[in-house]
Every structure is written in structure tokens, then in C-alpha cells.
Amino acid sequence: MNIQSSTKPICLITGGTEGVGKATATDLASRGFNVVIAASNMAKAETVKAEIKKATGAKIDVMAVDLTSLHSVCQLAGTFALRYPRLDVLINNAGIFAPKRVLTSDGFESSFQVNYLSHFLLTHLLLDPLKASEQGRVINLSSSVYTAGKFDDRNLQSENQFSVMGAYAASKLFMLLFSVELAERLRGTNVTSNAVHPGIVRTPMMLRAPGVFKVISYLALPFSIAPQEGAATSVYLASSPTVRQVSGGYFTKCKQTVVKSKFNTKAIRDALWKQTAEPLTRLGLINA
């Protein structure tokens, strides 16, 4: 039974308990969105829920998800579909810096799964609720470090060589390529797909960054922006009528930016899609 049939736009955001995600959730709530925060730490999510409600007066929903578990992602999608009649905006915001190569219980490299694969799966599982919206929007958090990312089908999950920067940059490149390819595959539908670079944002994740990222993060602090500024582009893509029909774009500071990567080709996007979908199809989580 649906617990929410309001005409207010419904937004599901992953990683909405801190940093850019929390700022995005707060801003959208203040604009009249029904915001659903998907988080792994439910105690923290409940605290953030109360904070946003106090600040905006809006009702906030929270749902559990562990992005290191594909089963948990499926449960999130199922719970959402039971509670809500549609999904107007999906913001795939959560991300991690993996200090070393660690496999999840599903057998995938952790940054590959958390930053990319689980969001690929979640998006697929929520396509029907998105299509039930008058105009569904998928917003994927990428980063300008995508330019350092590589698509290497022999090292897709850092099997042969791991570095914190390499794994993180690759995951952000994959999110960007996924956004562009999803837009192509959804052309003709009422669902759009775009990617975002939030900027160099002062977030807990930035300050907890391991290895070379910690050095880079602290050097970048004088040039960094507050989470509220970092959230602006996601909020713009979620709420502005100006981008209602825009799909396949990469946005920085609320403006569409040219993608500069030799890996942004149809052939490579198709290859990445195929290699991403294959294990999910084999596990029966999505259709081929």
C-alpha cells in the first residue's frame, strides 16, 4: 500500500546523511520535495531526518541500504516501490574512497561497487517508478577527476593494479559514461539522465580521504566550497524546468560542460555497459 500519494515531487537520494548529499536533501526539502534518504547508518539517518524537518518543516523518509551488498540494493528498490507510486528524481550521490583493494561480499572491488555498480543496479530497478513520473530525472554524481579515470577491460576492478586515485577516478568515469549511455537508451521516454561535478567540496569524506587524496584534499582546502554550494548543481538538475528535456549532459556550476575523455565513445560505453550488466543478469537481478 502506498503511504505517499502526494503530488509533491518525490526524490530518492543515496548518501544523504552528510556532505553534499545532506545539503542536497535539505535544499530540495525546502523547495517542497518529498525527500527519501537511503543510508547505511540508520541512527545517523534518523538524526539527519530530524534536523532537516526542524530546518524546513518538511517530512523526510529514510530507508536502509548497504551499497556493498547487491541484495540490500534490491531490498531498497522493493521498499521504495511499496511505499511510493512513482519516483520523480533519483540522485545517485553516495561514494567512498577505498584506501586499499578490498572485495565486497558480492566479490566486487569496493569502490567499483559502491560508487558505480550498485547505483547502476538501483537505477535499473527503479526505472518503472521513474517512468511512472510525468518526467523522471536520474542525476549521477561524477567528478572532474573522471579525466584521470581509465576504461581498461583487463583492469576494470583494479585486478592488476590498484591505487586510491586510480580506482576512485575510474568509478567516477564509469558513472559519467553510464549517465551518457543511459540517456541514449532512454531516448524517447520521459526519463532523463545527467551527470554532475559538485566541485571541490569541504565534506567529511574529503577530509577522511586516504593516501595521496588526503594530501590533495588539504592542499585544496583554500579553494574548496561549502556543501551547500556543492549541492547547487544537483538541486538545479532536480528542480529546474530549464533542464526538463536535457539528457546525456555533464554539469558543473549549473552549466553543461563538454566531456573531455577519450573513453567517451559509443563503443566503450557499450563495452562498459555489457561488462557491468553481465554479472547482474547472471545473478538474475536485471534482465538482459
Catalytic hit among 84, 168, 236, 250: 168
Q: Percentage of the chain with pLDDT > 70?
A: 88
3-state secondary structure string, 178-239? HHHHHHHHCCCCCEEEEEEECCCECCHHHHCCCHHHHHHHHHHHHHCECHHHHCHHHHHHHH
Q: Say if residue 46's pLDDT is above 60.
A: yes
How far apart CA 242 and CA 272 sit, in angstroms, is 30
C-alpha cell at 157: 576492478
Q: Say if residue 225's pLDDT is above 80.
A: no
Task: Look up 84 and say whether it is catalytic.
Answer: no
Mean pLDDT along residues 111-140: 98
Hey, where are the domains in the chain?
10-199+229-282
Q: Say if residue 57's pLDDT is above 60.
A: yes
Mean pLDDT taken over the chain = 91
pLDDT bracket for residue 2 (50, 70, 90): very low
Mean pLDDT along residues 32-60: 96
What pLDDT does 213 receive?
A: 56
The domain 10-199+229-282: what is its CATH number?
3.40.50.720
The Cα-based distances of 67 to 12, 28, 95, 106 in angstroms read: 14, 23, 9, 11
DSSP state of 144: G
Three-state DSSP at 256 gives strand
Q: The sheet that has 191-197: what strands, in order across it?
A: 60-64, 34-39, 10-14, 89-92, 136-141, 191-197, 250-252, 255-256
What pLDDT does 150 receive?
A: 96
What pLDDT does 224 receive?
A: 58
C-alpha cell at 106: 558480492
